[in-house]
Structure 1
């Protein structure tokens, strides 16, 4: 079996490692020419950390990230409303980690290249279309290499051939054959767009999300995530993400501020993704937060860049793909990031996909089993994130409901069999 993965993000790279572990030939294509450790913080819930540990990445995670010990909920002045233990402190067998997204992606990329070979990830190449049949899928790739030929996929996917020529940095289209195409190409997935051409625009919550990171003195336990909510449903989250900073007695604090500005509805027009903004724009929404012991306005002023995103998702799909093509991660189930679960769900997607493809049955049956397991699970997370963003219920009740919806209850995860095919088979 030969699998082509579109997208070298966290989900796509984790899928490559999991498929290779199961003895399946895999190549990843990524549209950017150079994968660099960009981005800000990301949380990995215990159900995702378990999968990375089983892939042999536990020590590297522990060295680079922070094992989150607790969530502390406060008002805008810093008065504590509620707290709860997290990860191992909550009884899980695996920690919850807060890490730098770019460093996690680099960790996965290094592991893929070490285990699968340097040619397993092909950059400057993106999926532009595909034709799926009973005996395989023909994938059309646009490559921005200087000269492109059948070797664009390093020989890992059979049947490569030049459809158009690209010389001196131009673009060329290449057709290649695979048994399976996995669209892990993110929120703006080209694979999803072909599978679901009538999907319509993304759905905006009406909330803008501002993000930044800055080195500061440690606070509370040094492993605490603080979630504060003030007037107008403005929420501010902060958590440390660097084990290396902690080794120096410092804290690399990742923060997120959620600001409702409109009624929910379709996201129309072009969004300003990853656009840096002036701190003053956000500080206008944080008047009255000066007394918070975290000194929220000071964290904002000290951060550069500050990025602004619309908080969006999509209505869950009834099916992701077909007999030879499927989706994974944000391409399959974009969700509000309020529950810190987007990357975690992508990692679990990857492991479940590899488990079913390694089952020995037909490709169609394996993809159907994958979707039957993951579509209802991820749809529940999408809907639970909407409730968490908009609920007026008590914080403790909302977080408990969210954990049940995401499959992250302690006993359930600790007792679940491994997703490693050899261990389960």
Structure 2
């Protein structure tokens, strides 16, 4: 088939490569005129790494990323609550990687550009159906143009133009009063140099993990995310204007909360103050849609299911969408049947993850420990049953698609 993908992010590019590998004629249209390796760190869960590995990208991931050994949950005093082994050491078939988002995107961009048509500076603003074909209406620097295809895939993010066709009155993204600051800092490795940590609780949380190997001076590029509730989650709460997203963060917004978070193994205020970049975003999502398909178009990634960034699900779920869509199209000669199969597989699971993350997802256990032991603890067993912690974390992981070998 002739397929147009609107959006050259991680999900769109992965879908393009998966579809091209199955013989489809794919064109990616990206709104940005000059894609650059922007952003900070992300985590690729093992099931997403398996998809990228099937495209021959595992050696590149090993070169660019840090192979994550564990996710550690800790309180705001730096005391470990639970250590969850990840990747091969956790019994998974594939590694888990912590990686710079921009570097991954540019590698996928280069792979796609070598195998299919990738065009920048082309924004898909609408799609209309003409018989059994889709017509993409496109904005360019030289004026509007149109392209026809058998299928148009909207991988154009949380502000998706294709999503607006399905939900024209949806309004702005949902916000529950939490802002997040993302930064990267060159610092000495912490713990084993390959561990991801979530410390704190829902009112104030600090997530930290390395995204590159140590350089010659021994310093490692550390990615960190500071979440802080700035408003109570009342009905009708409106997120900051979109023009203020990704703006430069300010130390004075973080230090009153995180300025004393000095652990035996990590100096949180030191990381924040030495950051080479720090950006601010509202933590938002959208309500699940009742459908993703409209005529000869469907949605993928954040366009389909934007979710609160808990549990490393953003890029991972977009990559899983890409595989499911490619498999569905290969499994049926009828496009409507294939798109229904794709949606039936992916939409319910992603809706569950959106709902779980609104209830704090994996971080819910941090709130429970904070409520039971706000000043910390000597023995975790005196505060909460470790087996209960393990059950709650493993239940979330199973719902989010984690599958260890032999399970």
Under a length normalisation based on structure 2, what TM-score does the superposition of the two structures give? 0.90
Q: CA, structure 1 residues 320+173, in 2 after alignment: closer, same or farther (shift >3 Å)? A: same
* Partner residue in 2 for 1:150: none
| Alpha-carbon contact 1:22-1:354 (below 8 Å) kept | yes
**Aligned positions of 1:228-307 closer than 5 A:** 228-229=199-200, 233-243=203-213, 245=214, 249-264=218-233, 265=235, 266-268=237-239, 270-271=241-242, 272-291=244-263, 293-307=265-279
Long gaps (5+) in structure 1? 145-165, 167-171, 416-425
Cα distance in 1 between the residues matched to 2:110 and 2:259: 44
* Partner residue in 2 for 1:183: 154
Cα distance in 1 between the residues matched to 2:81 and 2:35: 41
Residue 14 (structure 1) aligned with residue 6 (structure 2): no
| Alpha-carbon contact 1:130-1:138 (below 8 Å) kept | yes
| Alpha-carbon contact 1:388-1:399 (below 8 Å) kept | no
CA offset digits 1:113-132 (Å, max 9, x no partner): 1222xxx1111110111211
Q: For structure 1, which segment, 313-322 or 279-288, has the greater mean C-alpha deviation from structure 2 after superposition?
A: 279-288
Which of the residues 336, 357, 363 maps onto 2:308? Answer: 336
Cα distance in 2 between the residues matched to 1:409 and 1:15: 22
Cα distance in 2 between the residues matched to 1:386 and 1:401: 16
* Partner residue in 2 for 1:23: 23
| Alpha-carbon contact 1:19-1:354 (below 8 Å) kept | yes
| Alpha-carbon contact 1:34-1:123 (below 8 Å) kept | yes
For residue 292 of structure 1, report the CA deviation from its aligned partner.
5.2
* Partner residue in 1 for 2:61: 61
Q: CA, structure 1 residues 248+4, in 2 after alignment: closer, same or farther (shift >3 Å)? A: farther
Cα distance in 2 between the residues matched to 1:20 and 1:371: 20
* Partner residue in 2 for 1:121: 118
* Partner residue in 2 for 1:224: 195
Cα RMSD between the aligned structures?
1.8
For residue 269 of structure 1, report the CA deviation from its aligned partner.
5.7
| Alpha-carbon contact 1:7-1:31 (below 8 Å) kept | yes
CA offset digits 1:223-256 (Å, max 9, x no partner): 01111116x731101100114x468743210000
SS in 1 for 2:17: helix
Long gaps (5+) in structure 2? 370-388
Which of the residues 210, 235, 241 maps onto 2:181? Answer: 210
| Alpha-carbon contact 1:222-1:240 (below 8 Å) kept | yes
* Partner residue in 2 for 1:198: 169
Residue 404 (structure 1) aligned with residue 373 (structure 2): no
Which of the residues 356, 360, 369 maps onto 1:384? Answer: 356
For residue 268 of structure 1, report the CA deviation from its aligned partner.
4.8
Aligned residues: 382
Under a length normalisation based on structure 1, what TM-score does the superposition of the two structures give? 0.86
